[in-house]
Structure 1
């Protein structure tokens, strides 16, 4: 069993599966509805734990009744929650998600994350005790910086989920060992994957990848640029696939090289798209 520490965003998600996107001023009955914890760090932690690993999640949910939805889901998937919001009585970040069943694409509306903060005492010298890796999603940057700086002398690998560029992220990059970014991740002045790779190299990152949905993953390691194939599947739901990819990568990178870990994580993410929601794949497939 490996131990991973995940720090970042968690939300309470309500997902509606509809036959098609709504038109203007239209009411539409959902074919199905699901509710669980969401957010990149939370979904990655659940994925990591699904391999039989120990996942600790540092995030902010609070004591509002709506937070119980996310907390119950995390507990059911054996994720150790370290709830550190500095405003515990506020509702958690809520997301309303609509998935188009005709093509698996999704739209997300969520409440503001900019003013959400964690308590200053949520990170200390024991947080990474016995940890095998640290995964960050770019949220809660002060604590992310603190933990990444603590990980370096301990030789604990730091993985960055680069979903989108966030202000101040350039200060974190020199502490990152593996950066896995989405196609929407563009640092200042970057417009292409090549320019993203160049920017990341300039901050000392040697292992980088850009995921592109169903297209091959672009990866650079040891100064070599290559493509990692993505397993084709019949897509039902792409929700959370990137988060699941990162959680699976965290599992595989502890025992495999960078490129093989990307390939195996891509297989898990692809299979997750073949079922509805971000949890069904765990019940349907067992990954060892």
Structure 2
């Protein structure tokens, strides 16, 4: 499992590659996807994303993530399908988390909590989602829609816990961490 945070181009381009790469085409020597799950952390669209999208298995995107020329999330989901990404999860703050998972669509409600600080909530959701996927990932490289709903519920619960105190780590004390 390799979660990708795409805030920096260099870290996104260097993921999971153990070969010398040409500077202008970082994937020129890769013949196929590796056998581990790659999860995109898509907070907002970056113009260089098409370079790595063919190598993404799951796109976890925020409501701010919009593909070029997309007018809504349905357009973005279709755009991602063009790169072979058939598993998309969209967060939208305190609104329900929506998912499109190999033809199955749905939404998962977010726990209602007293919000103190939302700083890092998206990253916390993404980390919890990636961890949950890793726990359920099996040797056939499959994660079905029923399982992903449970992973989303877990990730929303963790993110909801994190917004109930100020800062990105203060809430961990309530877990005994």
Shared fold per TM-score greater than 0.5: yes
- Structure 1, 276-285 or 251-260: larger mean CA deviation: 251-260
Query: Do residues 138 (structure 1) and 6 (structure 2) align?
Result: yes
Q: TM-score, normalised by structure 1?
A: 0.51
Q: Match of 1:70?
A: none
Contact 1:272 1:281 in 2 (8 A): yes
Question: Secondary structure at the residue paired with 1:184?
Answer: coil
Cα deviation code 1:68-121 (max 9, x no counterpart): xxxxxxxxxxxxxxxxxxxxxxxxxxxxxxxxxxxxxxxxxxxxxxxxxxxxxx
Query: Do residues 221 (structure 1) and 111 (structure 2) align?
Result: no
Runs of 4+ in structure 1 deviating by more than 6 angstroms, as ranges, are none
CA distance in 2: counterparts of 1:135 and 1:194, whole angstroms: 23
Query: Do residues 279 (structure 1) and 169 (structure 2) align?
Result: yes
Q: Which has the larger radius of gyration?
A: 1
CA distance in 2: counterparts of 1:285 and 1:146, whole angstroms: 34
CA distance in 1: counterparts of 2:152 and 2:16, whole angstroms: 22
Q: TM-score, normalised by structure 2?
A: 0.80
Q: Match of 1:262?
A: 152
Q: Quote the RMSD (CA, aligned, Å).
A: 1.9
CA distance in 2: counterparts of 1:286 and 1:249, whole angstroms: 21
Contact 1:149 1:175 in 2 (8 A): no
Residues 286 and 191 from structure 1, CA distance in 2 versus in 1: closer, same or farther, beyond 3 angstroms?
farther
Contact 1:148 1:176 in 2 (8 A): no
Structure showing the higher strand proportion among its residues: 1
Question: Secondary structure at the residue paired with 2:128?
Answer: helix
CA distance in 1: counterparts of 2:17 and 2:101, whole angstroms: 23
Query: Do residues 172 (structure 1) and 40 (structure 2) align?
Result: no
Per the TM alignment, residue 196 of structure 1 is displaced from its structure 2 partner at its CA by 1.2
How many residue pairs get aligned? The number is 155
Structure 1: state its 5+ residue gaps. Answer: 1-132
CA distance in 2: counterparts of 1:241 and 1:220, whole angstroms: 21
Cα deviation code 1:4-44 (max 9, x no counterpart): xxxxxxxxxxxxxxxxxxxxxxxxxxxxxxxxxxxxxxxxx
Contact 1:148 1:175 in 2 (8 A): no
Residues 142 and 238 from structure 1, CA distance in 2 versus in 1: closer, same or farther, beyond 3 angstroms?
closer
